[in-house]
Amino acid sequence: MQVKACIFDLDGVIVDTAKYHFLAWKRLADQLGIHFTEIDNEKLKGVSRRDSLEIILQIGKTDLPWKVKSEFAERKNGWYLDYILNMTPEEILPGCLTFVNQLRNAGIPVAIGSSSKNTRIILERIGLTETFDAIADGNIISNAKPDPEVFNMAAYMVGTEPGNCVVFEDAIAGVQAALNAGMMCVGVGSAQVLGKAHFVVPDLTSMSLDKLLTIGKEILL
């Protein structure tokens, strides 16, 4: 394939906000009397807020009226916002800026593709709002990953065909969304977990423009 644009998930690829999500979801689960662990939290990666609450309720073998679910989801988001408003550029994950700047210097558009509705707040706090050519997030899409909508939207925003885009993802749902969009996917994290991706690296310190172009030549979508 010809690499003409790169799309990055936010949580777990650019910054690690999973810890803040866990703290907020655990606080909510405790209020509901549901035992919620960090292992359980893995199931929520790349999943929308509403669907995440449904998973927690399933873990607790309980259910709530729709209105109450909405109230709890907003309560969790309020706690999460309190955490991320204190984020700083120091929380940008290793290798991210070096790799993204390599892409930008080579004239390859870079975009964010995240289901999070807090994407712009996080990017502002860590000083990367102007770094990306496009930001597709939960505020402008209707369907969460593994639906490919957010990645297709990001591709559209940078004027690139999906088949010429590379997605960087740390979640199973995100990898599947990239594949559903017909894009090449580089998993960021565990090869055991992200085995469906075309290629997996432990983090972005393992990526470079040369490596990306080499991978792209070897992948036929």
> DSSP states of 30-65 as a string?
HHHT----HHHHGGGTT--HHHHHHHHHHHTT----
* AA identity, residue 14: I
Q: Which phi and psi angles does 180 have, rounded to 5°? A: -65, -25
* Nearest CA-CA partner of 24 in 3, 44, 1, 4: 44
Structural element, H or E, at residue 149: helix 149-157
Residue 16 falls in the annotated catalytic set: no
Q: Would you call 147 a catalytic residue per the annotation?
A: no
147: Cα separation from own chain's centroid: 13
Going from the C-alpha of 109 to that of each of 64, 135, 210, the distances in angstroms are: 43, 11, 16
> Which residue is catalytic, options 9, 137, 147, 170?
9
Task: Catalogue the active-site residues.
Answer: 9, 11
